[in-house]
Amino acid sequence: MSYEAYDLINQLLNRTPTARPSLGQMKQHPFFHDIQWDKLLLSPGPFIPSPGDGEDTKYFCVREGEASGAGDQPTRYSMVDNAPSTPQEDTDVNDDKMEVDDIAEVANIDAGIFNSFDEKVAHNLQGMNGQMVKHIRQRRAQSLASVKNRNIKEDDANPSHITSVKRTVSSQHPGMKMPVLPDYGL
């Protein structure tokens, strides 16, 4: 690892957010000395994937049997060899920036990629959500029932509790008569 890379990483890993480099400082860092920031969007990327179809994941997933050593098989990635290293000199940076319509076209093309996610996963998520809500409601009902049963057992169904209340009232107010409480058959 170069000293410039090491220095940049250390600056980015600083625990104090205000001590981390700003965007301007990042652009001026020696690690990025070859980058032409004004023309970056105009230059082609060094790697262009070539998937077989919209659901092809060969660039992201290791298939069974392919997990052998890294040097055993050729790379699946193709580098762009014929791309110029710098943009053409006669182009104006402001004229070649992507227009809003161009960005919308790209967004429409990529929008279909996640359709299978909605169809396959949304149903499972909805089912899991329903099960979780049912489980939470059952636990709450059990909790409320146990609290209610405990209160009935401690307060209403405990004759010693009623007797102790009668004794307390009669000892504090000797002339006061306690009303007769109905027997609920508990």
- Tell me the average confidence (pLDDT) per consecutive run of 10 residues in the chain, 186 residues long: 92 92 92 89 79 76 52 47 48 50 58 56 72 86 79 54 55 61 58
Domain for residue 166, yes or no? Answer: no
The reported pTM is 0.29
CA–centroid distance for 147 within its chain: 37
Domain for residue 157, yes or no? Answer: no
Give the structural domain span for 31: 1-35
Structure confidence at residue 143 (pLDDT)? 83
Domain for residue 25, yes or no? Answer: yes
Structure confidence at residue 55 (pLDDT)? 78
Domain for residue 8, yes or no? Answer: yes
Contact yes or no for 184/156 (Cβ under 8 A): yes
Rg for the chain, CA atoms, rounded: 37
Domain for residue 18, yes or no? Answer: yes
Structure confidence at residue 52 (pLDDT)? 78
Residue 41: which residues within 8 A CB-CB, separation 6 or more? 97, 98
Domain for residue 125, yes or no? Answer: no
Total of domains in the chain: 1
d(CA 138, CA 107): 44
Domain for residue 3, yes or no? Answer: yes
Structure confidence at residue 27 (pLDDT)? 92
Structure confidence at residue 91 (pLDDT)? 47
Structure confidence at residue 21 (pLDDT)? 93
Domain for residue 28, yes or no? Answer: yes
